[in-house]
Amino acid sequence: MYTKSRRPVKLVYAHEVDRFDTAFALEKQVQGWSRAKRRALIEGRLELLPELARKAPRARVVGQIRGGGFDTPASRATQPPE
């Protein structure tokens, strides 16, 4: 278990929902937030959430899946043009 070696674990925020799929979606959404936005949620400073959401996200390299792998220059060289 991930948290076993990181004890003591302290619950800092909880939100009750009726459905498992809703809870899962909310958890994944919050996991994608910046540390500052999560901290504002934990501290109950909900008025800051829209402001923190407007900041530009960090640049990430995301490959497009093509033919079972990532679309890279090397993989494009071996594939016929579309």
At 2-56, the pLDDT tens digits run 777 888 888 898 989 999 999 999 999 999 999 999 999 999 999 999 999 876 6
CB within 8 Å of 30: residues ≥ 6 apart: 38, 41
Amino acid identity at 55: K
Check residue 72 and give its pLDDT.
Answer: 47
CA neighbor of 26 nearest in space, from 81, 7, 45, 18: 18
Could you give the CA distance from residue 75 to residue 34 in angstroms, rounded to a whole number?
33
Q: Are 52 and 34 in contact (CB under 8 A)?
A: yes
In angstroms and rounded to an integer, the radius of gyration of the C-alpha atoms of the chain is 19
Which pTM value belongs to this model? 0.55
